[in-house]
């Protein structure tokens, strides 16, 4: 296992990139710690697979360098980097048995026979396929095939990191949960460095200690699932994570006061933005209160999801979603207020930190 440093990586698929827009991956500078579980989360085409292929060496980056445990591997091929990767579609060698599939990467590297035997038997137990070692791989179900693909990575004891490229896409929903739990369990026991690419927020948030959210070739936020939820750094993160996503409303900042149209909003801590920036307020539906106090609102519709209700309303024509408990009664003259703890201010889509005075507290 290894620490992975990405130093100013940029990548363009065209030969002579000129402007920033030509880059599919715009300046990534980040460290994946040894033994960490990371998720790269973002919509299709945001560059997450590109980044993964750069780490695995399938794609040489246009600029920047990659270090494994401080050793520069930028120019090394995939084989020499000692990486394992699990792909979206399960890759198994059809004509081989499960055992031979797992032995394949070791045989290619000239590992002695008894060592292969030992490692493969161990791995078969780890991926729960010990009973099917002699079965032909082609007859297995998609999730078993995906386990074999994972096993071919695990079997190499010295592997630097295991990379996953949307590995659960073709797996049945009920098996997804099982496989994900097994992955987490394997990570807990053996502390592999794992990087997991997905566009599914549930997968990312349940799998990873640290989630790297990407959009349009850029990393917009790196944080724990909790941080991404409480303090989205960018309106995209707020919108992409959570269901429904964060409400984003245009606001005017006038000195210390914040207004949505004619209504004043209270924050936990004041913020300062440079004038001229497009300022917006972000608040997750979980922090929107409906009751007798606050801004007058029109209810558009209410969705009942079972345990709770999602209320879609408008304030001065701006749509706002709120999540309220099942037994919440919506008054006839509904008013909406935002919980200051969950309200963030964004300038040009990036979150503005609260202003703190010299004593360290909020003004």
Partner 1 sequence: MTKTWNNRAWFLVLPVLLLVAFNAIIPLMTVVNYSVQETFGNNLFFFEGVKWYEDVLTSERFHDSLFRQFLFTGIILLIEVPLGVAIALTMPRSGPWVSVCLVLMALPLLIPWNVVGAMWNIMALPDIGLLGYGLNALGIPYNFTRQPISAWFTVVLMDVWHWTSLVVLLAYAGLRSIPEAYYQAAKIDGASRWSVFRYIQLPKMNRVLTIAVLLRFMDSFMIYTEPFVLTGGGPGNATTFLSIDLVKAALGEFNLGIAAAMSIIYFLMTLLVSWIFYTLMTRGDEQ
Residues that bind partner 1 in the complex, under the rule CB under 8 A? 56, 58, 77-79, 83-85, 87-89, 91, 93-96, 104-105, 108-109, 136, 138-139, 149, 152-153
The C-alpha angle 294, 299, 305, rounded to 5 degrees, equals: 110
Kindly state the smallest distance separating residue 113's Cβ from partner 1, in Å: 17
Kindly state the smallest distance separating residue 40's Cβ from partner 1, in Å: 17
Kindly state the smallest distance separating residue 20's Cβ from partner 1, in Å: 27
Kindly state the smallest distance separating residue 89's Cβ from partner 1, in Å: 6
Are the C-beta atoms of residues 153 and 181 closer than 8 Å to each other? no
> CA–CA separation, 1 vs 87, rounded Å?
20
Q: Which is nearer to partner 1, 166 or 218 (CB)?
A: 166
Q: Is the sign of the CA dihedral 166, 170, 174, 180 positive or negative?
A: negative
Helix (H) or strand (E) holding 177: helix 173-190
Kindly state the smallest distance separating residue 221's Cβ from partner 1, in Å: 29
Are the C-beta atoms of residues 96 and 105 closer than 8 Å to each other? no
Kindly state the smallest distance separating residue 96's Cβ from partner 1, in Å: 7
Q: CB-based burial of residue 291 (10 Å sphere; 0-12 exposed, 13-18 middle, 19+ buried)?
A: middle
Q: Which is nearer to partner 1, 146 or 344 (CB)?
A: 146
Closest of 247, 230, 226 to residue 310, by C-alpha: 247
Q: Which is nearer to partner 1, 13 or 89 (CB)?
A: 89
Q: Which is nearer to partner 1, 150 or 219 (CB)?
A: 150
Distance set, CA 147 to CA 4, 202, 312 (Å): 25, 20, 42
Cβ neighbours of residue 189 under 8 Å, at least 6 residues apart? none
Q: Which is nearer to partner 1, 87 or 190 (CB)?
A: 87
Closest of 223, 201, 151 to residue 231, by C-alpha: 223
Residue 290 Cα to chain centre, angstroms = 31
Q: Which is nearer to partner 1, 107 or 259 (CB)?
A: 107
Q: Which is nearer to partner 1, 57 or 294 (CB)?
A: 57
**Other CB atoms closer than 10 Å to residue 292's CB: what's the count?**
9
**Other CB atoms closer than 10 Å to residue 309's CB: what's the count?**
18
Kindly state the smallest distance separating residue 22's Cβ from partner 1, in Å: 20
Q: Which is nearer to partner 1, 57 or 242 (CB)?
A: 57
Kindly state the smallest distance separating residue 117's Cβ from partner 1, in Å: 18
Closest of 42, 46, 41, 43 to residue 26, by C-alpha: 46
The DSSP output letter for 17 is -
């Amino acid at each position: 296992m290894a620490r992975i440093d990405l130093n100013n990586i940029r990548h363009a698929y065209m030969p002579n990139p000129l402007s920033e827009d030509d880059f599919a991956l715009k300046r990534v500078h980040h460290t994946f710690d040894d033994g960490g579980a990371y998720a790269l989360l973002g919509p299709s085409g945001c560059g997450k697979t590109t980044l993964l292929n750069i780490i695995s060496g399938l794609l040489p980056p246009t600029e920047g360098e990659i270090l494994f445990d401080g050793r520069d591997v930028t120019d090394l091929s995939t084989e020499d980097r000692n990486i394992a990767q699990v792909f979206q579609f399960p890759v198994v060698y059809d004509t081989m048995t499960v055992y031979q599939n797992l032995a394949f990467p070791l045989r290619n590297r000239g590992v002695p026979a008894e060592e292969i035997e030992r490692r493969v038997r161990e791995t078969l137990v780890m991926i729960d396929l010990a009973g099917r070692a002699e079965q032909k791989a082609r007859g297995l179900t998609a999730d078993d095939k995906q386990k074999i693909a994972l096993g071919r990575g695990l079997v190499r004891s010295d592997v630097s990191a295991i990379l996953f490229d949307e590995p659960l896409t073709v797996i049945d929903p009920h098996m997804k949960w099982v496989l994900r739990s097994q992955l987490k369990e394997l990570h807990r026991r053996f502390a592999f460095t794992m990087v997991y690419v997905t566009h599914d927020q549930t997968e990312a948030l349940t799998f990873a200690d640290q989630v790297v959210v990407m959009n349009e070739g850029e990393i917009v936020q790196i944080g724990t699932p909790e941080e991404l939820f409480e303090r989205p750094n960018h309106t995209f993160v707020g919108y992409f994570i959570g269901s429904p996503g964060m409400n984003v409303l245009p606001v005017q900042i006038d000195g210390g006061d914040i207004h949505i149209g004619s209504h004043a909003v209270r924050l936990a801590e004041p913020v300062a933005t440079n004038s001229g920036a497009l300022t917006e307020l972000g608040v997750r539906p979980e922090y929107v209160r409906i009751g007798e106090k606050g801004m007058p609102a029109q209810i558009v519709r209410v969705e009942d999801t079972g345990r709770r209700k999602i209320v879609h309303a408008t304030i001065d024509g701006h749509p706002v979603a709120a999540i309220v408990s099942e037994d919440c009664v919506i008054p006839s003259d509904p008013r909406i207020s935002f919980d200051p703890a969950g309200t963030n201010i964004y300038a040009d889509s990036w979150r503005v930190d609260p202003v703190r005075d010299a004593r360290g507290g909020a003004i």
